[in-house]
Amino acid sequence: MKKVFFILLASLMPFISLASEKGLDQKIDEAFKPISDFISGIIFFEVFGAPFVLVLLVFSALFFTLYFGFPNFRYFGKAINVVRGKYDHVDHPSSGNQDLAVDGDIKDTIKDESKEGEVTHFQALATAVSGTVGNGNIAGVALAIALGGPGATFWMIVCGLLGMSSKFVECTLGVQYRDIDKDGTVYGGPMYYLSKGLKEKGFATLGKITAVLFAIFCIGGSFGGGNAAQSNQATIVLKDLMGLSSTSAGAVIGVVLALVIGVIIIGGIKRIASVTEKVVPFMAVMYLIACLYIILTNFSFIDDAFSLIFSEAFNPKAIGVGGVIGVLLVGFKRAAFSNEAGAGSASIAHSAVKTKYSASEGLVALLEPFIDTVVICTMTALVIIIFNFGGESGKQQFQYGKVEVQEEFQGVAINGEILKVENDTINFNELLIPKEKKGYLIPISESKDTLYTASNYATINGMHFKKEGNEYIIGGEKHKNFKGKVMIDGKLYEGAGITTQAFAEYIPFSKWFLTIAVVLFAVSTMISWSYYGLQSWKYLFGRGKGADMAYKLLFLLFVVIGASASMSSIWDFSDAMIFAMVFPNMIGLFFLFPVVKKQLSRYLEVIRSSKEPNDK
């Protein structure tokens, strides 16, 4: 395998040369952007000025939190105990009565669960966390702050806490209605609790339709947020680290990433579980240690940072965010993308757990949004906010909200400096420039006796850059879309690039560290989402090897697309596909939450009645 892998890498060298000449990145982006815009426009339709899917997500999470009596707080300690194995004596399939069927159970579901299962509670949590703890934490948080300012952090935390309840419900159902094949392979997730659960309630046709819709959207989510968005951010930091400016560098990096992912996803869920079980805790801890180091060494700024987070949550200063509702939507959108609570995707991984009690895994699952959003996202936000305080100099590194472009100047620029016109004319190399002729510029890097007008130059956040048509030459690269980008020291950054700059300010060689972290997060998320998407693909097209291979090839293609296209088009598509899953999933959750209530009571009663010493 290693030999084949290195041969494939070597074969990329001619492709790299060809790609540099053809500008594949721009061509791929131009082809993909219209698709992204079309899908995003459909999914994020607005009701009273807010995307309906976000309203549905938030109010559903609030309802489940109230209905189950704040499970995100009441059962937090118990969830940790389940993960560390305190209740294995009652929960493990090898213990007790193998047939725990009760009235209302779906035939051959609970009984089969007591016999087989593929992974432990911890492995299922690690696999699911690897699907949520990714570049949504590093890049997504930076994007939220760039768009909505520090106040977006507060709403991300709120969304994370509420999302714990939604995650508990959907992951309990994922285990409750899973299928187990003759060879012991587990198939679960919303496709199964929608079709089985709604049939049980007398809505078989609705269940089948919503299950198919979810499977389609989940496949799209695996191609977008679980894949293209990840390779996109990995490519951004790799290009920055290696100083790559080729117009096809993204495509080349994408091919290399596709080779790596292709080797890994062959192993199936057991291989994925064994990999993520080791990688996810390690990279999460290392990332948190780095964040803590920056936060603690700048402890004097912590109170100011939190003050800014809370004050701007309700009185945002970010340019163009649109007031409280605007910053709230930015925070909720990025948090929901990051932790996926309500989308149903994590229930696919959790359905593979070894357990007799579906509610046990629901409790484990509620830890995910807390780990992902409340802890890791908040840490990232604090680092970026502290960085933007400017340290001892107090100089703000970038402007929250948007990049300001000014194409008409109140004067002339000579050698990069805008000079005010105080007299009627300015004598420049014997050429008299009338005061009325505002906007004349001298390119910084070109001949001093060449004049350019405002159509050739622009001021962006107080610095001067050359224009070509409707594009701006910044840092050797062409830019025309500034959404979600910030300017730091005359260079544009977005997503993970913003976080990288924040780390670089405080930790030597942190570019290497964060690049490795971003790539590891990306890889772990992609391999987890390849499992989610494959399960949905199997549901639609069967469980044959040919169908599996078709999905995997499409999945690898989107690795390359994500690495090549722009962040805005990739993340718009990714957001749309992740949030599309919310619609069919919520139908299932609202029909079946009484089942979750019953299973939770059942599991808690078994724990209370246990006579094992380690449960006293």
CB 8 within 8 A of CB 543: no
**CATH code for the structural domain at 51-397+511-615:** 1.20.1740
What confidence score (pLDDT) does residue 513 get? 81
Q: What is the mean pLDDT of residues 457-481?
A: 66
Helix intervals (H) in 507-566: 510-541, 545-564
* pLDDT tens profile 57-87: 999 999 999 999 999 999 998 888 888 777 7
Amino acid letter for position 288: L
The DSSP-derived string for 160-229 is HHHHHHHHHHHHHHHHHT-EE-TTS-EE-SHHHIIIIIHHHTT-HHHHHHHHHHHHHHHHHHHHIIIIIH
* pLDDT tens profile 506-558: 888 788 888 887 888 888 788 878 888 888 888 888 877 888 888 988 999 99
Amino acid letter for position 69: G
CB 273 within 8 A of CB 186: no
Q: What is the band of 613 on the pLDDT scale with cuts at 50, 70, 90?
A: very low
- For residue 139, the 8-state DSSP code is I
Q: Which residue would you say has higher pLDDT here, 324 or 453?
A: 324
Q: What is the band of 579 on the pLDDT scale with cuts at 50, 70, 90?
A: very high
Q: What is the band of 596 on the pLDDT scale with cuts at 50, 70, 90?
A: very high
Q: Give me the phi and psi of 184, to 5 degrees please.
A: 95, -5
Q: Exposed (0-12), middle (13-18) or buried (19+): which is 4, by Cβ within 10 Å?
A: exposed
158 pLDDT above the threshold of 60 = yes
Residue with tokens 């948090």: 335
Q: What is the band of 340 on the pLDDT scale with cuts at 50, 70, 90?
A: confident
Report the chain's mean pLDDT, rounded to a whole number: 77
Q: What is the band of 129 on the pLDDT scale with cuts at 50, 70, 90?
A: low
- Whole-number Å distance between alpha carbons of 96 and 79: 21
37 pLDDT above the threshold of 50 = yes
Q: What is the mean pLDDT of residues 34-61?
A: 89
CB 301 within 8 A of CB 394: no
What confidence score (pLDDT) does residue 584 get? 95
Tokens of 290: 């780095």
What confidence score (pLDDT) does residue 126 get? 67
Neighbouring residues of 545: CB distance < 8 A, sequence distance ≥ 6? none
For residue 148, the tally of other CB atoms under 10 A from its CB is 30
Beta strands in 78-140 (DSSP E): none
SS (H, E, C) 443-509: CCCCCCCCCECCCCEEEECCEEEEEECCEEEECCEEECCCCCEEEECCEEEECHHHHHHHHHHHCCC
The DSSP-derived string for 261-317 is HHHHGGGHHHHHHHHHHHHHHHHHHHHHHHHHHHHHHTGGGHHHHHHHHHHHHHS--
118 pLDDT above the threshold of 60 = no
> What angle, rounded to 10 degrees, do the helices at 121-132 and 268-297 form?
60
388 pLDDT above the threshold of 90 = no
Question: Of 45-49, 93-97, 530-534, 574-578, which one has max mean pLDDT?
Answer: 574-578
- Closest-CA residue to 603 (of 100, 77, 61, 65): 100
For residue 478, the tally of other CB atoms under 10 A from its CB is 15
What confidence score (pLDDT) does residue 104 get? 38
For residue 50, the tally of other CB atoms under 10 A from its CB is 16
What confidence score (pLDDT) does residue 437 get? 46
Which pTM value belongs to this model?
0.78
What confidence score (pLDDT) does residue 103 get? 39
Sorted by where each begins, the domain ranges of the chain are 51-397+511-615, 405-481
For residue 220, the tally of other CB atoms under 10 A from its CB is 22
281 pLDDT above the threshold of 80 = no
4 pLDDT above the threshold of 90 = no
- Closest-CA residue to 276 (of 126, 397, 391): 126
What confidence score (pLDDT) does residue 558 get? 92
- Whole-number Å distance between alpha carbons of 498 and 244: 17
